[in-house]
Chains A and B, each alone.
Chain A
């Protein structure tokens, strides 16, 4: 096996007309291009979802503010939530998976390249459909435009009696369409990881990223299905006279909650497991040690995958379940903290005794550990169902899950971005700007989400477009909004760094981080065919074996 790529003469990119080059991006079935499309799509949506969040935070900066009307505010939080989950987090994570899985397991592409392209475009069209509601949502009634039912769209607000016009239909169809894309990608991940590994790479020798995306893929298939079913049932309710969720005709509002959360809670892990995957690749390389307890990491993730399907009703502690129901979901929700805790300890074990190089990626991962620890502990508080009767649906919950989704997932996404940007673009980013990005975003994140816990403790519910003065909420909301501007500044630095480095960055070389997995053995960016010759591996760190022939990993595994 050779770690060097074979240089082939390529047609100069700039020589061809731009229309032809764009056309290639549209018709491509190359996993690398589709991965990049996913990520860019997610980044654009991140900016849109961020603008929606900013509008909400400006509205809440003082009590009785008149920046936007209640109608607009309700649309903003619905679109913000739906966008960030379905059109930002999932596409970006799928994008990294699509780009990296074949490269990390020594394959030339995904198992089903055409399905891969189909899935991306379904997801993309789902997003366009959702945003088309701003134009088309009025329908015949002249009421509403973008959906305003909240991102979990509780019945019966979505019934025709309470949601006139077509805004809810755009929401339903958008999730249905992008859900088909998600299932396609998940099937592809599972098939690719199971069938396309290079010789020598047994399941026990796969990089953790491949393992975790395999588990995530399985979870997507299981979790998106009930969501899709629920969307179809809702459509039947709205247009074919069904009464699944139509409470005015005897339907059940709680049934929708069960359908949504049996999707919704695994979804949290669907998002966070790829984030764990990034941390599991980045932390070892920058600590210069192999991942601590590889088999335990895999087992813990499989365990999380299973248990995550039995915790959904902890979103429903206040809907009047029996005391036995509440007790059951309390215990399952607490139990999931055990494998999650094991993972945190294993990352700490990886850093312990290493020589940690705090490049931007590692900074983001260290912050991830810190923030995910806090998110896990507030999660324990919320799993304690009586405590949840107080904290549920308050700003405390908002702070908690933004700690997960921003503090853990988005931080590791930024870490992953800096880590694999040299591989994807062939150029190095600017490390100083990346550190500015980190610190600005870190400060902004903590200003916003640390202080967001407090109004929840003081009784501020979520999803209110304004609040009464004199309840002790003003100062916290002010601080929270100020934090947003630091986050915006951080993201601006990130975008500038991205664009600047694409044009002027230093050439990265094949392996800028002295890393150990197969993607670093090929050129940056990798050729269309990924590997000129199929690699053969003997351990979890094939490049370590290559670089340290006197002390290879396979002797110990």
Chain B
């Protein structure tokens, strides 16, 4: 009896201690949630000033938008499941933990319950059914969308470690920077891509325009985009393809219809012949450059590297690894590893004079 009477206040003290530690835990969880919310705001609520930051939750094209809408449903359902199951877990952890003044007796031994088991089997099956039907609808609407008459056709070919874009109907060949016209419901001009690979597996991923699709040798894959806003959309290769997978970057320029028409016009022209850069052209055409690069209207017709006919119309070189400036061009010719170690462009070992002349020639390729 004495034991019981002394232990009573003890238990009380312990209980207040427990309440305090519980309060501390609740506060901790609140701080954690606040942190997650803050992170979410930073991440998704940032002003949509530029499309420079890729984000799957800021879609700008029908395929990415369908995925976004589906993802909202999935996130809502999984979020609800999380809240319910986490609450049950948290409740049992707090409620059923062994107390300080435990009598050491075993709790009631419960072996199971068929009713409860049935409930938590049937309910998840129903949830899965709903999710599956919603998903199947999006799979078919995105993957099996018919190609409208006004669609632009592009063949995208993945290379180690750059992108080749061919517009067969328009007679345009370019690299790394895909130009497509903006598409609006009134005048729908989606772009349908045929994806091929020249060497290893790659994957075409511009999060705001569409989900990714792989480029696989001996196989032709298909995807489409119909960007609703003009601007530059960033992406990059999403399937490990070798040493420089990281710098196989991808830029999609969404142009206004008139702008796109002018771009095509420019790209169709043969290379500019500029007498001032005659020496550089001679060097280009008499060294290994022509084995890999093509310049329309000259002897250069290599296909291993990007077409350089309109090199200066592009903002970047080395598949987005560096801005297209004179210094970077020089560095790229002389020492590609300084920009993209492991790229397949060889160092050209030119003397200073030849390098200068060659760079000057490349700069005329507008």
Chain A interface residues (CB < 8 Å from chain B)? 69-71, 74, 148, 150, 154-157, 162, 247-248, 250-254, 287-290, 292-296, 318-320, 322-323, 326-327, 330-331, 334-335, 337-338, 341-342, 344-346, 348-349, 351-358, 366, 369-370, 373-374, 377-378, 380-381, 384-394, 451, 454, 457-459, 461-468, 470-472, 475, 548, 551, 553, 556-557
Contact = CB atoms under 8 A, between A and B. Distances in A.
B201 A342 contact: no
A465 B57 contact: no
Given A148-B243, A250-B218, A338-B124, 19 more contacts: A70-B342, A157-B200, A157-B242, A288-B107, A293-B111, A293-B116, A319-B214, A327-B136, A330-B136, A342-B121, A366-B93, A374-B82, A377-B81, A378-B78, A386-B139, A390-B207, A457-B43, A459-B235, A464-B245
Contact of A70 (B77, B131, B341): B341
B109 A290 contact: yes
A154 B211 CA distance: 21
A156 B249 contact: no
A556 B89 contact: no
Nearest to A321: B143
B217 A323 contact: no
Nearest to B342: A70
Contacts of B142: 386
A110 B120 CA distance: 37
Given A320-B222, A373-B85, A466 B246 contact: yes
Contact of A318 (B116, B212, B237): B212
Interface string B223-239: 00000000000111111
B131 A380 contact: yes
B74 A341 contact: no
B216 interface: yes
Interface string B35-68: 0000100110010000011111100000010110
A334 B85 contact: no
A470 B52 CA distance: 8
A271 B219 CA distance: 34
A373 B107 contact: no
23 contacts: A162-B242, A252-B218, A254-B219, A292-B112, A294-B112, A295-B112, A319-B221, A327-B139, A337-B128, A349-B116, A358-B97, A384-B74, A386-B70, A386-B138, A387-B74, A388-B211, A390-B56, A393-B238, A463-B240, A465-B246, A468-B249, A468-B320, A472-B53
B17 to A, nearest CB: 15
A6 B313 CA distance: 87
Interface of B: 39, 42-43, 46, 52-57, 64, 66-67, 70-71, 74-75, 77-78, 81-82, 85-86, 88-89, 92-93, 96-99, 102, 106-113, 116-117, 120-121, 124-125, 128, 131-132, 135-136, 138-140, 142-144, 195, 199-201, 203, 205, 207, 210-214, 216-219, 221-222, 234-247, 249, 320, 341-342
Contact of B106 (A288, A322, A461, A472): A288
A326 B211 CA distance: 14
Contact of A338 (B125, B139, B213): B125
A320 B97 CA distance: 51
A253 B139 contact: no
Contacts of A378: 78
B224 to A, nearest CB: 12
A375 B4 CA distance: 47
